[in-house]
């Protein structure tokens, strides 16, 4: 009897809750830490960026008006689903980063914990960022945080799962939607994460994941007039500068961390508050 | 086969049912095939400007206010106030009671004022009311009248009633152009679309228009293809050119450019002119402007920078 052939997974993009191939039809070879062949992944083009931004914009009204409680529950659900596919993530992370199975297991666990941590923030962030302001007049004056809108994210090249979760979760927990350019070097865990997202009650289009060249796609995202925020965590200095200049045209909120981010450290609330706007309401007293 | 002159139901029926049948599968495939043409860069730029100049900017809601009509008319004259090179649209299309308001804003800018009439959108009223409706719109300053045919009469085979109604409205229009809305979404078959197109042209319509926009499906590519074939064949036989206006369901620049390809390949380049081809739409204009801005600035445009309508 002949030996069984293994079923090779086809990695595609994640746009608007669906898994299309790149509009351009391109793909590229993904190799492991030791240079061995792992899989072919889609190489997204600027038109995929455009489609992903449209999908994110379409998902924004629903996601931003969902209750904070509901968004938190969905993030918990993502953590549950991620935990359920732990074995697959461990092997993908191990292959991509060339780390031992034990170390990869720790990284996957850390990603699950990070999701749970951010999920808890969903209904607390408004207490932290909102306020009742004293004003010299007969008014209640209340400030509340609101999501910025569609956020473009250049995911970190290292930490294909933990780093990715650490940049997506803080953006969506407050009600933003996002377009993520996954790690170019190690994109496979990001598409597996997309499969988790697609089965986690997360509405389609809230997270859109593109694989391919970040140098090619990020400027289109940075220049797009319908994108409201930009997280340049994964962009190198040259790309980040270019993107920042393009982002200035429509005054995007830009997050450009200084130096290398230590994902294992306490993340703080900075990544959430970077993509929040403040709405202040004046309400007359006694009416 | 001779073109019927004296209108009796029998002669009209004989003529209309003598028209060659439409191959539904063939028409669908032809329209889909033409829809795959790739129009890029400078050609796309030209197509976008042509499409903008062909738009009949439309608002036909029960909730229309004078203010909304004024805002829309201002947009029709200057679609993108930040860019004076954007051409003005062909016309604005409103309900009869708002024609005067629209006329006031577009003035002598060259943008035409079109009005729906004849108990739009259902067309269910007496001929007297329909004629009065038309006369009112014309008196208020409408350059073009968009009438609906009596689909009930058409579908039950009472072609003379439809024919005479179009003639009566045409007479009431006077100088104004008459567009005849076939409401293809209710005609069931492409054969009926072809017959209704010929009936409207024989009765004196200056334009044939697919839909009211209130019924789905509206302006699909194959239906527009059948109508473009009808105007082409009509000109060959009668020597008179009739315009075509797909309306409803055209939302993106891609939809609009597909329509232009269809016109060029079916009726011919003579029809690639706002006098002979119109796009009845509202939301497509913003998409055209966004695509135009993308070509100009090299960055994707966002809807936040264009008017809401």
DSSP B147-209: EE--HHHHHTT-HHHHHHHHHHHHHHHTTSEEEEE--GGGS-SHHHHHHHHHHHHHTT-SEEE
Beta-carbon separation of A223 and B301 below 8 A: no
Under 8 Å between Cβ of A146 and A279? yes
Domain count for chain A, please give it: 1
Rounded distance between C-alpha atoms, residue A271 and residue A2, angstroms: 53
**Any CB–CB contact under 8 A between B303 and chain A?**
yes
Q: Is B239 near chain A, with CB under 8 Å?
A: no
Q: Which helix (H) or strand (E) holds B236?
A: helix B221-238
Let me know: does A52 contact A208? Beta carbons within 8 Å: yes
Across the interface, whether the CB atoms of B299 and A53 are under 8 A apart is answered no
Residue A127 lies in a domain: yes
- Per the structure, the count of domains in chain B is 1
Q: How many other CB atoms are there within 10 angstroms of residue A221's CB atom?
A: 29
The 3-state DSSP class for residue B211 equals coil
Provide the 10 A C-beta neighbour count for residue B63.
6
Is the confidence at residue B4, as pLDDT, over 70?
A: no
Residue A50: its chain B contacts at CB < 8 A? Answer: 300
Q: Do A250 and B300 touch (CB under 8 A)?
A: no
pLDDT at A116: 97
Mean pLDDT of B13-23: 95
Q: Is the sign of the CA dihedral B149, B153, B154, B158 positive or negative?
A: negative
Residue A62 resides in a domain? yes
User: Smallest CA–CA separation between B259 and chain A, in Å?
Assistant: 22
Percentage of chain B lying above the pLDDT 70 cut: 98
Domain membership of residue B164 as a residue range: 18-294
Is the CB of B242 inside 8 Å of chain A's CB atoms?
A: no
Residues of B in contact with A225 (CB under 8 A): 299-302, 304-305
- Which pLDDT tens digit goes with each residue over A173-223? 999 999 999 999 999 999 999 999 999 999 999 999 999 999 999 999 999
3-state helix, strand, coil in chain A (%, to 5): 45, 20, 35
Residue with tokens 């995911």: A155
**Quick check: A2 pLDDT over 90?**
no
Whether the ω angle into residue B99 lies within 30 degrees of 0, i.e. cis, is no
- Confidence tier at A275 by pLDDT (50, 70, 90): very high
Residue spans of alpha helices (H) in chain A: 46-65, 68-84, 86-97, 101-121, 125-129, 162-173, 188-198, 214-223, 237-247, 270-273
The answer to whether the CB atoms of A226 and B302 lie below 8 A apart is yes
Going by pLDDT thresholds of 50, 70 and 90, the confidence category of residue A270 is very high
A223 CB neighbours in chain B (<8 A) are 298-300
- The answer as to whether A14 is a domain residue is no
For residue range A103-159, what is the model confidence (pLDDT) as tens digits?
999 999 999 999 999 999 999 999 999 999 999 999 999 999 999 999 999 999 988
Count of CB pairs separated by less than 8 Å, A with B: 25
A63 CB within 8 Å of a chain B CB: no
How far, in Å, CA of A218 to CA of A180, rounded?
Answer: 10
A 206-235 residues with CB below 8 A of B? 220, 223-227
Contacts with B301 from chain A: Cβ below 8 Å: 225-226
Residues of B in contact with A250 (CB under 8 A): 302
Residue that is written with structure tokens 């697609």 in the block: A198
- CB–CB contact A226 B299 (8 Å): no
| d(C-alpha A39, C-alpha B97), whole Å | 65
Q: Examine residue A49 and state whether it is found in any structural domain, yes or no.
A: yes
- In a mutational test of the B interface, the residue from A148, A179, A226, A277 whose CB has the highest number of chain B CBs within 10 Å is A226
Cβ partners under 8 Å of residue A271, min gap 6: A166, A167, A170, A171, A231, A255
| Residue pLDDT, tens place only, B194-216 | 999 999 999 999 999 999 999 99
Indicate yes or no: CB of B299 within 8 angstroms of CB of A50.
no
Residue-wise pLDDT tens digits, B130-169: 999 999 999 999 999 999 999 999 999 999 999 999 999 9
CB of A53 within 8 Å of a chain B CB? The answer is yes
* pTM of structure: 0.91
**What average pLDDT does this structure show over B285-298?**
95
Give the structural domain span for A174: 27-261+268-284
Torsion of Cα atoms, A97 then A103 then A109 then A113, to 10°: -90
SS3 B93: strand
d(C-alpha B15, C-alpha B11), whole Å: 6
From CA B254, how far away is CA B213, in angstroms rounded? Answer: 19
Q: What whole-number distance in Å separates Cα of residue A29 and Cα of residue A18?
A: 22
Burial letters B207-227, b for 16+ CB under 10 A, else e: bbbbbbbeeeebbbbbbbbbb
ipTM given for this complex: 0.86
pLDDT of residue A60: 98
In a domain, A63, yes or no: yes
Of B306, B284, B298, B305, the residue nearest B47 (C-alpha)? B284
pLDDT for the residue B6: 53
Tell me if A6 is assigned to some domain: no
Q: Which residue from B minimizes the CA distance to A46?
A: B300
* Domain membership flag for residue A166: yes
Cβ neighbour number for residue B305 with a 10 Å cutoff? 15
CA angle B145-B125-B4, nearest 5°?
A: 65
Say which residues have a Cβ less than 8 Å from residue B177's Cβ, sequence separation at least 6: B143, B144, B145, B206, B207
- For residue A28, list its beta bridge partners: A41
Q: What is the pLDDT of residue B244?
A: 97
Of B121, B150, B118, which is closest to residue B131 (Cα–Cα)? B118
The closest CB to that of A223, out of B299, B303, B304, belongs to B299
Q: What is the CATH number of the domain that holds A208?
A: 3.40.605.10
Contact: A225, B298; criterion CB under 8 Å = no
Q: How far away is chain A from the Cα of B252, in angstroms, using its nearest Cα?
A: 13
Q: Do B299 and A246 touch (CB under 8 A)?
A: yes
Interface contact A271, partner B, CB < 8 A: no
DSSP 8-state assignment for residue A14: B
β-strand pairing of A131-132 with A139-147: antiparallel
Main-chain phi, psi angles of A45, to 5 degrees: -115, 180
The DSSP secondary-structure symbol of B96 reads G
B137-156: string of b/e by CB count within 10 Å (b at 16+)?
A: bbebbbbbbbbbbbbebbee
For B300, residues 6+ apart whose C-beta sits below 8 A from its C-beta are A50, A53, A220, A223, A224, A225, A226, B294
Closest residue in B to A51 (Cα–Cα): B300
% of chain A beyond a pLDDT of 90? 89
Q: At B224, which CATH number?
A: 3.20.20.70
Q: Say whether B300 and A53 touch across the interface (CB within 8 A).
A: yes
CA angle B226, B227, B231 (to 5 degrees): 120
Q: Is B82 touching A (CB cutoff 8 A)?
A: no
Q: Is residue B129 part of a domain?
A: yes
ω into B141 cis (within 30 of 0): no
B48: closest CA of chain A, how far (Å): 19
CA distance A148 to A18: 24
Host H or E run for residue A254: strand A253-255
Contact B300 A249 (CB under 8 A): no
For residue A34, what pLDDT is reported? 87
pLDDT at A158: 85
B159, B160, B166, B171: CA torsion to nearest 10: 170
Flag whether residue A14 sits within 8 Å of chain B, measured between CB atoms.
Answer: no
- Whether A183 and A160 have beta carbons less than 8 Å apart is answered as yes
Q: Which of B298, B300, B301, B304 to mutate to test the interface with A (most CBs of A within 10 A)?
A: B300
Measured CA to CA, the distance from residue B137 to residue B297 in angstroms comes to: 42
Angstroms from A25 CA to nearest CA on chain B:
16
B38 touches chain A (CB under 8 A): no
Could you tell me if A210 and A179 are in contact, meaning their C-beta atoms sit under 8 angstroms apart?
A: yes
Chain B residues with CB-CB distance to A249 below 8 A:
299
The secondary structure of residue A42, as a DSSP letter, is: E
The model's pLDDT over A6-49, given as tens digits with 9 standing for 90+, comes to 888 889 999 999 999 999 999 999 998 888 899 999 999 999 99
Q: Which amino acids of B are annotated catalytic? A: 146, 209, 245
Q: Read off the DSSP letter of residue A149.
A: S
Q: What local confidence, expressed as pLDDT, does residue B235 receive?
A: 96
> Per-residue pLDDT averaged across B173-199, rounded?
96
Residue A13 lies in a domain: no
């Amino acid at each position: 009897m002949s030996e069984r052939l293994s079923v090779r997974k086809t990695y595609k993009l994640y746009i608007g809750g669906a898994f299309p191939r790149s509009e351009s039809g391109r793909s590229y070879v993904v190799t492991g830490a030791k240079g061995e062949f792992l899989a072919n992944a889609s190489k997204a083009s600027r038109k995929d960026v455009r489609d992903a931004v449209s999908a994110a914009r379409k998902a924004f009204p629903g996601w931003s008006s969902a209750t904070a409680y509901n968004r938190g529950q969905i993030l918990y659900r993502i953590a549950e689903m991620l935990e359920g596919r732990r074995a697959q993530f461990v092997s993908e992370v191990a292959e991509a980063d060339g780390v031992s199975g034990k170390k990869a297991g720790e990284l996957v666990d850390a990603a699950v914990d990070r999701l749970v941590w951010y999920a808890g923030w969903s209904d607390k962030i408004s207490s932290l960022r909102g306020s009742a302001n004293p004003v010299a007049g007969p008014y209640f004056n209340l400030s509340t945080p609101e999501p910025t809108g569609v956020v473009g994210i250049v995911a970190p090249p290292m930490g294909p799962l933990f780093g990715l979760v650490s940049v997506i979760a803080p953006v969506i927990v407050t009600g933003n939607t996002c377009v993520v350019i996954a790690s170019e070097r190690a994109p496979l865990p990001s598409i597996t994460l997309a499969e988790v997202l697609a089965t986690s009650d997360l509405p389609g289009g809230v997270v859109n994941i593109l694989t391919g060249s970040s140098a090619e796609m990020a400027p289109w995202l940075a220049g797009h007039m319908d994108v409201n925020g930009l997280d340049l965590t994964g962009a190198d200095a040259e790309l980040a500068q270019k993107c920042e200049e393009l982002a200035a045209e429509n005054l995007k909120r830009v997050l450009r961390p200084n130096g290398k981010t230590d994902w294992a450290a306490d993340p703080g609330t900075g990544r959430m508050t970077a993509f929040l706007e403040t709405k202040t309401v004046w309400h007359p007293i006694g009416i | 086969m001779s073109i019927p002159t004296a209108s009796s139901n029998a002669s009209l029926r004989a003529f209309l049912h003598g028209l060659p049948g439409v191959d539904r599968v063939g028409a669908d495939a032809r329209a889909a095939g033409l829809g795959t043409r790739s129009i890029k860069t400078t050609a796309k730029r030209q197509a976008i400007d042509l499409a903008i100049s062909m738009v009949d900017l439309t608002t036909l809601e029960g909730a229309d206010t004078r203010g909304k009509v004024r805002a829309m008319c201002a947009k029709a004259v200057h679609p993108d106030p930040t860019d004076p090179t954007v051409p003005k649209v062909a016309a604005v299309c409103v309900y009869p009671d708002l024609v005067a308001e629209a006329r006031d804003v577009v003035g002598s800018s060259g943008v035409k004022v079109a009005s729906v009439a004849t108990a739009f959108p259902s067309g269910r009223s007496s001929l007297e009311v329909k004629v009065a409706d038309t006369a009112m719109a014309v008196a208020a300053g409408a350059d073009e009248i968009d009438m609906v045919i009596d689909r009930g009469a058409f579908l039950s085979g009472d072609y003379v009633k439809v024919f005479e109604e179009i003639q009566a409205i045409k007479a009431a229009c006077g100088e104004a152009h008459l567009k005849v809305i076939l409401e293809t979404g209710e005609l069931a078959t492409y054969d009926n679309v072809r017959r209704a197109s010929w009936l409207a042209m024989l009765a004196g319509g200056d334009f044939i228009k697919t839909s009211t926009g209130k019924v789905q499906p509206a302006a699909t590519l194959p239906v527009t293809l059948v109508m473009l074939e009808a105007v082409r064949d009509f000109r060959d036989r009668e020597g008179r050119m009739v315009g075509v206006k797909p309306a409803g369901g055209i939302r993106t620049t891609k939809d609009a450019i597909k329509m232009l390809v269809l016109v060029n390949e079916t009726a011919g380049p003579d029809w690639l002119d706002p006098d002979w081809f119109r796009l009845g739409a509202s939301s497509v204009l913003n998409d055209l402007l966004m695509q135009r801005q993308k070509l100009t600035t090299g960055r994707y445009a966002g809807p936040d920078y264009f008017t809401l309508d």
